[in-house]
Chain A
Amino acid sequence: MRIIVCVKQVPATTEVKIDPINNTLIRDGLEAIMNPYDAHALEEGLRIASRLGGKVTTLSMGVPGVKEMLLDSLAVGAEEAVLLTDRKFAGADTLATSYALAAGIARIGDFGLIICGKQATDGDTAHVGPSIAEKLGIPHVTYVQKIEEITEDSLTCIRLTDDGTETVWVQLPAVITVVKTINTPRLPSISGLRKAQNAQVMAWGAADVSVDEEDIGIKGSATWVIKTFIPSFLTECKMLEGSAQGQARALVSELEQRGGIPW
């Protein structure tokens, strides 16, 4: 089975700094890493491929520098990596991104399963996995925390819901998005890094995949970023002094005054 894992490069922190003048992310000094959720997706792909036989292809969209991250995916065991890179893809929102990725997947072809992380740590939308499935006209299962059984034709998995879990059977090919508890991603080995050092990442432009240029990049995006900002949380700290009992009383009284106690 060919398994395609979609991976995104993100800054190595969740505490991004924003340039107050032009509202863009300040990326200086920040390492770029594979979205941590995608690392779990890749690990699951590698485990399934070793169990069922088959290979893992990683796919990403971004600037040419994203090749480095894709080489990392080869170092942990992916067999091939594809980067969609073209100025025409730039400025894409999740709609245009999933359209382009779906086109990339169609060109790779012959896939049995597509795995994505549940969301990226920089955008946090969780749109792209399900959107890819819609574009490809195949089913999807989100928030998968365990694959119970997988064959060439179907899989049974446990997915997280707001109030518990549910077991889902799905026909393949399908898209699944995974949560972190599904596995512990492996780190690259020295031999994996040696292999990756001499490996190639396939770079495809807009013309290499079958897309309508009106539907990719900023042109194909239904949303535009007007302003990016870190929400401000106004906090106030008041130290309560005295004995433990005195502090407990003072705390209750503070909470009462501020409407924090519902009785």
Chain B
Amino acid sequence: MIRMSSEYQDYLRDESRSTGHAEHIAFPVCEDDVREALGQAAGCRVTVQGARTGLAAGAVPRGGLILNLNKMNKILGLRYDDEKQCFLLRVQPGVLLSQVRRALHDLSFDISNWDEDAKTALSLLRKSGLWFFSPDPTETSATIGGMVACNASGARSFHYGPTRDYVEALRVVFSDTSVADLRRGREMVSSGQFSFQTDSGSIVSGTLPSLPLPQVKNASGYYLQEDMDLLDLFIGSEGTLGVITEVEIRLQPLPASIWGVTVFLPGTGEALGFVQDLRTELSPVAIELFDHRALQLLREQGHAGNLEDDHHTAVYAEFHGNAKEEVRNMVFRSGEIAVRHGAREERTWVATNYHDLERLYLFRHATPETVNSLIDRRRQRDPGITKLGTDMAVPDDELVAIVDLYNRGIKAEGLEAVMFGHIGDNHIHVNILPRSMDDYVRGRQLYHDWAREVIARGGTVSAEHGVGKMKVAMLRDMVGPKGVQMMRDVKRIFDPSGVLCMGNVFDEDVTVGEIS
């Protein structure tokens, strides 16, 4: 453990741009280091960090020790599962998403500490075409541990699902330094009861309640379902139950043909009509929106690229398949659907290879990046303001109403804002860009009003970023005081002294014993 000094200031922040405080920091390289640090910190608050790319302040410390897992960055091994007919990659939590992608693309791994079985599996992988790990949050410098902690998703989750669906096993160190090895399908909850053995031989058992989940893409609070897999409780628990020290992720064969198309629609209504028809008539893996304000911001900030002046709203769709003809056909059919909604096929952008796909991805990433740099400039003048970025999703039949609600609110309050993101999942990021403290205060109120409306319409307050410390009040509105209490009770089973990631998911629990 290192005493905090000005050198480590950066570790008090994450991408949410909020700042915390801590007394110590540790950079473990292995599970034993994690146990040692937790042992030394006994009774102190511990905040677990990955690459600090999170947007909900989950990695921002509230005193005590920062346990930064960046140096636990080894890919530990590979195996082929005959039953599931897939490869599984075992990684330390600090391994970056970009590191996994690079290794799988180049089929190149540091195998110096791999056992013979893993090396044999690697030989098999090299003969088995390309494989990929599908979760695709925009920030590829995210760690796998961080992605598991908030059950991250991305554009392609529309088809492939979130990180949860690709986690096969976890090793978790609890605050008392005991270790659990959890494997999908093995530690099951039955009639609310669960029981498993830790490495020290002690039995951990308890009762888990179930909490109704919104029927949308969701990353809000604990996953608590009847007869669930215990593993799923830890995915998305935002570091509050234990420290993840190992993750086994499931890989899939990479489709041979991947095409992307950006379509420009003449208005919001046409864009929504296109999205609705696209998802019923075809099977895209991603559908992404850029509203007219986002396109205008790109023009104003000099990132227009080949954007034309009268392009109003853009929708990006991606198609995967094993035959080029099949994928081309889907792209052509998406063009026909777009034409029905007022688009012109000659004004679409199609990527038919990785090189061109990268260009469409860069365009997609340009919106949040432009927003962030604009807000950073405004913060220099007015440090109190931040971007107000929403992460809410609603059921399919609420899409039109919710977009209308967002647009009316922005207009009525006279705020600057952009909308972009995962419209396929009815999961649009509205970014309010305050120009002043007054804008910020009104924007925050508007965001909270929207959250209540989203909840009333059966949606979620966080679909992919997690609750962290920023959306605690909204989660309380969503699950009610009873729901929060259920989660607190669950936390107490695994972290009785309540030291782990204090302030994430729910408020600090005054009923938990005093922290020395």
Q: Which residues of A contact B (CB under 8 A)?
A: 12, 29, 31, 33, 36, 72, 184, 186-194, 197, 243-244
Contacts and interface: CB of A to CB of B under 8 A. Distances in A.
B261 A29 contact: no
A12 B346 contact: no
B359 to A, nearest CB: 7
A36 B335 CA distance: 27
Interface string B328-352: 1001101100000000111111111
A12 B353 contact: yes
Contact of B348 (A33, A72, A189, A244): A189
Describe B's contact surface by its main secondary structure: helix
Contacts of A36: 355
B110 interface: no
A189 B354 contact: no
Nearest to A72: B352
Contacts of A243: 7
Contacts of B352: 72, 188, 193
22 contacts: A12-B355, A31-B354, A33-B353, A36-B355, A72-B352, A187-B350, A187-B351, A187-B356, A187-B359, A188-B349, A188-B352, A189-B345, A189-B349, A189-B350, A190-B332, A190-B335, A191-B344, A193-B328, A193-B331, A193-B352, A194-B332, A244-B7
A189 B346 contact: yes
A191 B332 CA distance: 8
Contact of A193 (B130, B350, B360): B350
B306 interface: yes
Residue among A187, A189, A191, A192 with the highest chain B CB neighbour number at 10 A = A187
Given A29-B130, A184-B306, A244-B7, A189 B353 contact: no
B305 interface: yes
A191 B349 CA distance: 10
Contacts of A31: 353-355
B404 to A, nearest CB: 29
Contact of B261 (A184, A190, A197, A244): A190
Contact of B346 (A29, A72, A191, A244): A191
Interface in B56-91: none
Contact of A189 (B305, B347, B359, B360): B347
B391 to A, nearest CB: 30
A36 B348 CA distance: 21
A29 B129 CA distance: 8
Contacts of B348: 189-191
